[in-house]
Amino acid sequence: AQKITQTQPGMFVQEKEAVTLDCTYDTSDPSYGLFWYKQPSSGEMIFLIYQGSYDQQNATEGRYSLNFQKARKSANLVISASQLGDSAMYFCAMRGQNTGTASKLTFGTGTRLQVTL
């Protein structure tokens, strides 16, 4: 079974500052992928960034980077230079790459980020 844990129900960050959203995971799959999605108040799910378990480097996409520590089973999202539009719910998710786990995404409970002036 796969499990995602997000221990921060809510976070505040000042505009232009960096913020780290925590995510830890558990899986028995030898190969897996980790994803972060953003859900603004309008409700849609927006893909942000992906990290493969065998990727040598941490993933980066613009202001988003993923601090992947495989031994600790953590995949924290770092948002640099926060903007007011970053205020949203953020979900960490994972998907295995073996038959039976390669289809579904397993989501964490989410972290609500509020960016302040």
Partner 1 sequence: EPEVTQTPSHQVTQMGQEVILRCVPISNHLYFYWYRQILGQKVEFLVSFYNNEISEKSEIFDDQFSVERPDGSNFTLKIRSTKLEDSAMYFCASSEARGKAEAFFGQGTRLTVV
Pick the closest to residue 13 from 86, 71, 76 (CA basis): 86
Residue 81 is a binding residue for partner 1 (CB under 8 A): no
Is there binding between residue 33 and partner 1 (CB under 8 A)?
yes
Burial of 35 (0-12, 13-18, 19+ CB in 10 A): buried
Q: Which is nearer to partner 1, 68 or 82 (CB)?
A: 68
110 belongs to the binding site for partner 1 (CB under 8 A): yes
Cβ atoms of residues 16 and 25 within 8 Å: no
Q: Which of 1, 41, 44, 56 binds partner 1 (CB under 8 A)?
A: 44
Applying CB under 8 A, does 18 fall inside the site for partner 1?
A: no
68 binds partner 1 per the rule CB under 8 A? no
Q: Which is nearer to partner 1, 12 or 47 (CB)?
A: 47
Give the β-pairing of 32-39 and 88-96.
Answer: antiparallel
